[in-house]
Structure 1
Amino acid sequence: MYLLIDVSVFVETVGFLSVFIEALLGAPQLIKNHKNKSTAGMSKLMVFLWTFGDVFKTTYFLIRRAPIQFWICGLLQVSIDLFIFVFVETVGFLSVFIEALLGAPQLIKNHKNKSTAGMSKLMVFLWTFGDVFKTTYFLVRRAPIQFWICGLLQVSIDLFIFGQILFYRKPYKKVSKAYIH
């Protein structure tokens, strides 16, 4: 019987496509996580096991000297798995960390000016209590540790600003040299 294509080329092509398609399985999730800027709804254990399995599979391909397409696709798969986890977790941490530092420029400005003139005390009060409640929610709901750390940092900055309001409420008066003996 006459075949239009070489069987070995066909088998290699099918093998490559099967591994390549499997390697790209994580891409739709990566895109969704990037659009949502969140890994909400994803099991971290599933991502860990998936990555762990891909690492072992790629190692197996390398040790067994499997055709190059297998270990290239395996490396691609591991890279996508790690990128999904590391990138999204990094973006998530940076977003809560930057939010935690929102009060820092005001804290520094107040310190340099030795004044909180112009700041709404009610705003700082509500800001502080909002951050306390948010951080309490993170702790009670057992949110990931980056939320705890950033929440506590944010509350600390809020409390320092609140302390500045109390500390700087009376303007400084220069001490006359006549009083210094």
Structure 2
Amino acid sequence: MSRRVNVLFAAEAIAARNAELAKDIAISTQDDLLVIAVLKGSFVFAADLIRALHVAGLSPEVEFLSLSSYRDQTESSGTVRIVHDIESEVAGRDVLLVDDILESGRTLAYAKDLMAARGARRVRTCVLLEKPNKRAVSIHADLVGFVCPDLFVVGYGMDVAHAYRELPFVGVVEVDPDVAPH
């Protein structure tokens, strides 16, 4: 079987949307912003968004929170666990959680509740992609890059079994059973 990835959201469209999101964040943010990238899938989006925030006039502190609910599967296990926690104090600060995709909502809801419990002044969420019909818990993203069809997507930091993270776009893996793999 051969696999190819069809582009769903092109690199240029993502870059333009990141600039728009950064402007929206800058308008509604005060000093002492803590951006927390929810790893692993958001690392490319978070890096590009942080650079766009700089262009928009912000200088956020950056942290990384690694949560897992997928393991090597394509569907959430339903249980979220902390793989790597942040080191910064969040009490009294504005926190922006950056994640790759809002689907079941479990991971983002867990992270948002965790930061609120630690005393954050305000916790907002920014996701590259949202699948609005896939929620298992009640949560909405404050900022959304793109509404995504109900497809399993890869690229721009997102993977399937640790593959395709390096792609500069968001795409859908298509399997062609008539073509032998190389």
- On whether the aligned pair clears a TM of 0.5, the verdict is no
Larger radius of gyration: 1
**Greater RCO, CA 8 A, separation 6+:** 2
Q: Which has the higher strand share?
A: 2
Q: Shorter-chain TM-score: which interval?
A: under 0.3
TM-score (norm. length: structure 2): 0.20
Q: Which has the higher helix share?
A: 1
